[in-house]
Amino acid sequence: MSIVRTYTPGRLTLEQLIRRIDDISTLPQVALRVMQVASDPNSSAADLKEVMECDAALSARVLRCVNSSAYALRTKITNLQQAIAYLGLKQIRNLAMTASVSELFKKEEQIGGYSRTGLWRHLVSVGICARMIAMRRKMASFEDAFLGGLLHDIGIILEDQYAHQGFQQVIQELRSEEILLETERRILGFDHTAVGEKVAEGWKFPEELRQMIRWHHQTAACKGEAALLTACVETANVICTLKGITAVGMNLVRFCPAAIAALQLSREDIAVLAEDLDREVEKSTSLFQL
């Protein structure tokens, strides 16, 4: 019989953790405004350009990525207006969010098999894979699938940074017979999907994105328009994890029949996606370095 241990010294409730994160304002205001503007159907390229110009460093990083080998442009893009015209609001939004979220991973931390560098590689890889799946299913919202993949485990890095003592115990007690969510709930009293959803709500992220963050381990519980996008993220999460690109240094995910059924993917489809992912990740190395 396993011993059930719970983290207690100075233990935070979910509500206290969310307040702590909000007080420190984890993501810059420019990034949050980029999300809001790009998600507004009435926004124009000029609106997005105006917001991003408030952060010269962010704009420069996005332009550097646009001009990287990943996009294979024939001519160099020299300003935001050109970049937005060429790639569109949502892809520039994704690059801006990738650059902003990457700041959370600048200070390396290693606990057992977990590292912040490894988690960042997992997030970007799941984003790339989720977009691949959505494109192959001919979904118009494939850039939203990338964003859901990029942010699906944002609750993990926030637990690491703002509930570090309890998070350390979670990592130390990981075991193959228990998925990460179960270990988190046993020790912390909540899990990273709940943390991510609450923070995303406070940051006024779009409803579909909040659903992807909340249900990326349980597509069957996701209802409405976000269900197919969530299926893309959950399937991508499993594919990346099985390929050794894990969130916490261990394979703790379970097969996702509801997600695969929703996407109508065959075993052959999954195998092809897993094989093609290597090439897509290699092509997108600039994203990992934003």
SS3 letters across the chain? CCCCCCCCCCCCCHHHHHHHHHHHCCCCHHHHHHHHHHHCCCCCHHHHHHHHCCCHHHHHHHHHHHCCCCCCCCCCCCCHHHHHHHHCHHHHHHHHHHHHHHHHHCCCCEECCEEHHHHHHHHHHHHHHHHHHHHHCCCCCHHHHHHHHHHCCHHHHHHHHHCHHHHHHHHHCCECCECHHHHHHHHCCCCHHHHHHHHHHHCCCCHHHHHHHHHCCCHHHCCCCHHHHHHHHHHHHHHHHHCCCCCCCCCCCCCCHHHHHHHCCCHHHHHHHHHHHHHHHHHCHHHHCC
Rounded Cα distance between 96 and 290, Å, is 9
Residues in the chain: 290
Whole-number pLDDT of residue 58: 92
Rounded Cα distance between 135 and 278, Å, is 17
Cα dihedral sign, 204-104-182-260: positive
pLDDT digits (tens, 9 = 90+) for 64-74: 999 988 888 88
Q: How confident is the model at residue 267 (pLDDT cuts 50, 70, 90)?
A: very high
Kindly list the distances between the CA atom of residue 126 and the CA atoms of 49, 113, 121, 265, in Å, as whole numbers in the listed order: 27, 19, 9, 17
Q: How far is C-alpha 267 from the geometric centre of its chain's CA atoms?
A: 25
Global pTM reads: 0.93
pLDDT digits (tens, 9 = 90+) for 200-211: 999 999 999 999
- Region 250-268: what's the mean pLDDT? 93
Rounded Cα distance between 58 and 134, Å, is 27
Q: Where are the domains of the chain?
A: 25-105, 107-290
pLDDT at 145 exceeding the cut of 50: yes
Rounded Cα distance between 231 and 216, Å, is 7
pLDDT at 10 exceeding the cut of 90: no
Whole-number pLDDT of residue 80: 93
pLDDT at 5 exceeding the cut of 70: no
Fold classified for 107-290: Hypothetical protein af1432 (1.10.3210)
Rounded Cα distance between 122 and 101, Å, is 13
Q: How confident is the model at residue 25 (pLDDT cuts 50, 70, 90)?
A: low
pLDDT at 193 exceeding the cut of 50: yes
- Region 87-115: what's the mean pLDDT? 93
Rounded Cα distance between 88 and 80, Å, is 11
Whole-number pLDDT of residue 6: 53
- Region 179-203: what's the mean pLDDT? 96
Instruction: Specify whether the CB–CB gap between 115 and 124 falls below 8 A.
Output: no
Please count the other Cβ atoms lying within 10 Å of the Cβ belonging to residue 16: 13
Whole-number pLDDT of residue 8: 57
